[in-house]
Amino acid sequence: MKSHTILAVCAAALLICPIAPAQEVGDIAVLGPNMQEHAAQGEWASAYDIARGIVAAQPEDLAAIPAEERYYIGLAHAFLMAEAFEAADDELEGEQAEFAARMRQTLLAPPVEPVRRIAFGEEIEIEDYLVEGQTVIVNFTSEYCPPCVAIAPRLTNLAEQRDDVLLVNVDINRPDVQGIDFQSPVARQFGIRGIPHFQVYGPDGEKSAEGPRARELVTNWLRELEE
């Protein structure tokens, strides 16, 4: 889920999360990064406390404050929703328990970057980079490949413009190799003999196309975006 999609979830949370008494109320622009830092360290009790402070400091007119503060307010609501689902989880059963667990995981998941560069010649597990509900384009590439360099900005634009598409650039080159590194572990792992080489994975996590068929799909998506 991309960052602006998470914001949409958080915005919906504003309508349903109660404003609890805050242990710490203050400048949202200061509290927000502090809340994120505690969350990143797994210190959820502290993150939840700060989230209550942010929600308590929320003004009635959200449009009157900077976008960054609106982001932190939305994130604070998302954290408090996750806390509520966690608190209820032990007493829920069946579909409610499954939904609560899934929502908590979704709400606390870090934003997924639309474009990533990985491997640098080393073997990878593609499954680690697939995201449920997203189409993932895996682009095997190298900085020494002129066609790869030429298409890179267009692929990045595609991933940034479409909410349902993620781009994973697999750099086949080991750092100490000059020229296209077809002998690198990751190139040998996937039998890469020519680049750019594409794989496309559907929202269900299954590979839907590779090679010429994947190139055709990606080319069509680029044309649709650029028309």
pTM assigned to the model:
0.59
Give the per-residue pLDDT at 91.
83
Residue 35: other Cβ atoms inside 10 A: 26
CA dist 174 and 165 (Å) reads: 27
Point out the residues of the chain with pLDDT beneath 70: 1-26, 109-112
Last residue of a domain, one of 108, 130, 145: 108
Q: How many residues does the chain have?
A: 227
Statement to judge: residues 120 and 219 lie in one domain = yes
Distant-in-sequence, close-in-space partners of 206: CB < 8 Å, separation ≥ 6: none
Give the per-residue pLDDT at 19.
38
- Give buried/exposed letters for 141-167 (b at 16+ CB in 10 A, else e): bbeebeebeebbeebeebbeebeebbb
Statement to judge: residues 129 and 212 lie in one domain = yes
Q: 121 with 171: CB under 8 angstroms?
A: yes
Statement to judge: residues 121 and 220 lie in one domain = yes
Q: How many domains does the chain have?
A: 2
Last residue of a domain, one of 66, 89, 108: 108
Give the per-residue pLDDT at 90.
74
- Give residue 103's domain range: 3-108
Statement to judge: residues 205 and 161 lie in one domain = yes
Q: 139 with 167: CB under 8 angstroms?
A: yes
Statement to judge: residues 81 and 122 lie in one domain = no
Statement to judge: residues 102 and 129 lie in one domain = no
Give the per-residue pLDDT at 25.
42
Last residue of a domain, one of 75, 108, 141: 108
CATH number of the CATH domain containing 123: 3.40.30.10
Statement to judge: residues 30 and 103 lie in one domain = yes
